Amino acid sequence: MSATAIIKPIVSKLYCSASQVVVLTVRKRPHVVNGGGFVVTDCSQKIIFKVDGCGTLGIKGELILRDADGESLLLIRRKGGMFQALSIHRQWKGYMVDYEGTEKLVFSLKEPNSCLAKNIKVNVVPKKCNINMDWDFEVRGSFPDKACVIIDSAGNTVAKVGVKKEAQLMMVSKDLYQVEVQPGFDQAFVCGVVAVLDNIYDESTHC
């Protein structure tokens, strides 16, 4: 029997598994305009999350992570205006929105200033990991190749993005891939980060 992990919610503890690695499948949403987004299913093909891209929302640089019922979990925006013009890194910010429409900042992600950059830093508000680090999570590897990991500031693997070996042998499109989330970590947060990576690298949410 697997040991019970410490639950580390960022969006909600509802999306943290206490003892099992959760394997999610990401599939580009079919039959929609460019930038329509993607769906995330579990091992039984049940929809867990949906991501709306700019083709669905009609707004560039904005994404919405929804639950299976279509309720908004995260509103994710690319920071614009003068701040972006003066900044070396473009930033994305993820917000939780309450029933009154009040936005609460959950995380920020620095977009790499080069397509050759391998590591992408993610900050959580309030900080959940090592307060002595200037980042809470880091994406390492190549998202376009679907070969990357998310680690926390203590060096623990939070999630892995990859394509099944069988799918690689069959030359299946990378529009279908898996995200393995370790016990205790927030699947909604991980999928929010994946949504931003998808947009940065001009995939299913990008217009």
May I ask the CATH class of domain 13-200? Answer: mainly beta
53 Cβ contact list (under 8 Å, min separation 6): 35, 36, 37, 38, 63, 198, 199, 204, 205, 206, 207
Note the pLDDT tens digit of each residue in 128-150.
666 667 789 999 999 999 999 99
Pick left, alpha or beta for residue 31 (phi over 0 → left; psi -120 to 50 → alpha; otherwise beta): left
pLDDT tens, 62-86?
Answer: 999 999 999 999 999 998 644 444 4
Task: Quickly tell me which residue has 């909600």 as its tokens.
Answer: 12
pLDDT (mean) for 18-25: 95
Confidence of residue 165 (pLDDT cuts 50, 70, 90): low
Structure tokens at 165: 């070996």
**Could you give the CA distance from residue 199 to residue 207 in angstroms, rounded to a whole number?**
9
In 137-195, where do the E strands start and end? 137-142, 147-152, 157-162, 176-181
In angstroms, the Cα distances linking 154 to 142, 186, 201 are 21, 16, 27
Q: Specify the pLDDT at position 85.
A: 47
Domain ranges of the chain: 13-200
- Which 8-state DSSP code applies to residue 2? P
Summarised one tens digit per residue, pLDDT across range 88-108 is 568 999 999 887 888 999 999
pLDDT value for 82: 44
- Does pLDDT of 155 surpass 60? yes
At residue 178, does pLDDT exceed 70?
Answer: yes
DSSP 39-84: EEE-TT--EEEEEE-HHHHS-TTEEEEEETTS-EEEEEEE--HHHH
Residue 164's pLDDT band, with cuts at 50, 70 and 90, is confident
